[in-house]
Amino acid sequence: MTTTPRQPVPTTQVDPFTGRPVLVAPGRRLRPMQTLDDNGGGPCPFCPGNEAMTPPEVDSVRHGDALPPGPGWVVRAFGNLYPAAAAHEVIAEGDTHATRPAALDVGLWRDALALYRRRIAAMEARVACAFLFKNVGYRAGASIAHNHTQLLGLDAPTPRLAQALARLSGRRPCPLAEDVARAEAEGRVVFHNARYVVHCPRVPKLPFETWLSPRDPGDDFLAPVDDLALAEALHAAFVALDAGLDAPPFNAYLLRDRDRRLPWHFELQPRTGNLAGLELGGDMYINSVPPAEAAARLRRLGPD
């Protein structure tokens, strides 16, 4: 297994002016950067055959009777070698070196979702909040090009989730569920099936913000009724970003309350611009693309 020089233990500090928690993890400066040219001058640590380059496997979905620690996996979870918190895992997706989530098929995403659920449940036995997120491309913060997702264990809900709970929990009708229900009539749907909707939210923070939401606000992410339908919708969201925006860097994350006080949903944010003074200094956003126009573009029906 690859080792790194002894690193300070990650800590959480609180900004005294805003109350916002900040993860302090100096060891992350040592991460290899393999997204600029997709090789970084060495082998990909997330490819099959290179399992010794990562911490030990904690869970996986594998072909047939293939056993850890070697190859034979299609989705593999292991500890992050450069953790931002005490609990921090990587989930490598795909046994080929694909760098775009859209390049992986629906069956792979079904396997990945199953592993996400197991790792979230395992991590939530130890921490208050298990935050699942994906960075795709250098400009979106990825240091390894191979498709992967991260799961970060936190001592409390993220400020974003805490804010949503304070504002929306107990409100009827639920604004999140109402947004999904109104999306089709307002031309904001990108893709839908019987159980899930990929849509642009009514008030997006930034251009082409896209959500994947359950039609049923009571849907439990950890126990979905139809995980194939969910995998189909997730894959469709990835394909829409690549087709509509020429494969941009993007971030994706799961907004989910473990006590199910809010409907869960995935949010995908293409990095088509840069955060500037208002965003960073004022914690406010400027969006220049109305959601119906964004949805039309992602459906490949809008202007090129």
Query: How does pLDDT run across 177-196, given as a tens digit for each residue?
Result: 999 999 999 999 999 999 99
Beta strands in 26-83 (DSSP E): 57-62, 73-79
Among residues 160, 149, 263, which one has the least CA distance to residue 212? 263
Element (H, E) at 136: strand 129-136
d(CA 105, CA 120): 23
Please, which pLDDT band fits residue 30 given cuts at 50, 70 and 90?
confident
d(CA 32, CA 45): 10
Parallel, antiparallel, or unpaired: how do β-strands 57-62 and 73-79 relate?
Answer: antiparallel
132 residue type, one letter: L
Instruction: Please give the structure tokens belonging to residue 13.
Output: 């500090």
Exposure class string for 144-161: b at 16+ Cβ within 10 A, else e = bbbbbbbbbbbeebbeeb
For residues 154 and 26, which has the higher predicted lDDT (pLDDT)?
Answer: 154
pLDDT at position 104: 98
- As a whole number of Å, the CA-based R_g of the chain is 19
d(CA 14, CA 111): 37
pLDDT at position 21: 86
- Do 231 and 212 touch, CB atoms closer than 8 A? no
pLDDT at position 29: 79
pLDDT at position 36: 61
Please, which pLDDT band fits residue 304 given cuts at 50, 70 and 90?
very low
Among residues 120, 127, 92, which one has the least CA distance to residue 223? 120
Place of tokens 């099936």: 193
Mean of per-residue pLDDT scores for the chain: 92
Please, which pLDDT band fits residue 198 given cuts at 50, 70 and 90?
very high
Beta bridge partners of 268: 210, 252
pLDDT at position 40: 54
Please, which pLDDT band fits residue 22 given cuts at 50, 70 and 90?
confident
Among residues 23, 29, 37, 21, which one has the least CA distance to residue 4? 29
Mean pLDDT score, 270-278:
94
d(CA 252, CA 158): 15
d(CA 76, CA 91): 5
Percent pLDDT > 90 in the chain is: 82
CA distances (Å), origin 104, targets 94, 148, 198:
7, 12, 18
pLDDT at position 7: 64
